[in-house]
């Protein structure tokens, strides 16, 4: 959160930050901010994602990036650091923008681009939900597991 607040300070426009989760982030009084608390309902989380123009994900370490996938599934473009599993869900030019780990100025530029290029953002939104369904649906996950099991069984048989 500290890095995100720094990045929002780099941008010349004023922004409204919407957050949720167990812990209330410290963002400072100069930033317009609303914290929704812990959202236990998937429906409420989807509403929160859809209230956003974009989802910013600036962790320096990340195993998978579940929240990035949730945002993309809701059709919300993602701007994130290129770390861990985030590139598995955020595809530049398709549903978001990835920048080098820890590069606050590149993250600010990505946010600025996503906010100000409405045509690109609309294209990302249209593609995001279809891409998520094609790659992360229950059916696709089952197919991937079946394929993996067949590969493993083939290796055991040989």
| Rounded (5°) CA angle 127-62-33 | 75
Read off φ and ψ for residue 97, nearest 5 degrees: -145, 125
**pTM here?**
0.84
Structure tokens at 80: 């994130």
Per the CB < 8 A criterion, the answer to whether 64 and 85 are in contact is yes
Q: Which of 51, 88, 53, 94 is nearest to 68 (CA)?
A: 88
pLDDT digits (tens, 9 = 90+) for 58-105: 998 998 889 999 999 999 999 999 999 999 999 998 999 999 999 999
pLDDT at res. 19:
94
In the sheet where 96-99 sits, what is the strand order? 55-57, 78-81, 96-99
């Amino acid at each position: 959160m500290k890095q995100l607040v720094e990045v929002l300070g780099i941008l010349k426009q004023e922004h409204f930050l919407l957050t949720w989760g167990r812990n209330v982030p410290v963002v400072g009084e100069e930033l317009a901010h609303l914290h929704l608390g812990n959202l236990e309902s998937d429906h409420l989380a989807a509403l929160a994602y859809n209230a956003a123009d974009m989802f910013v994900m600036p962790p320096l370490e990340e195993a998978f990036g579940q929240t990035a996938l949730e945002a993309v599934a809701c059709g919300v473009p993602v701007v994130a650091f290129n770390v861990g599993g985030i590139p598995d869900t955020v595809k530049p030019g398709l549903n978001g923008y990835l920048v080098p780990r820890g590069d606050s100025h590149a993250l600010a530029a990505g946010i600025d681009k996503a906010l100000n290029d409405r045509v690109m953002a609309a294209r990302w939104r249209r593609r995001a939900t279809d891409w998520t369904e094609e790659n992360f649906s229950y059916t696709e996950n089952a197919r991937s597991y079946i394929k993996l099991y067949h590969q493993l069984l083939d290796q055991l048989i040989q």
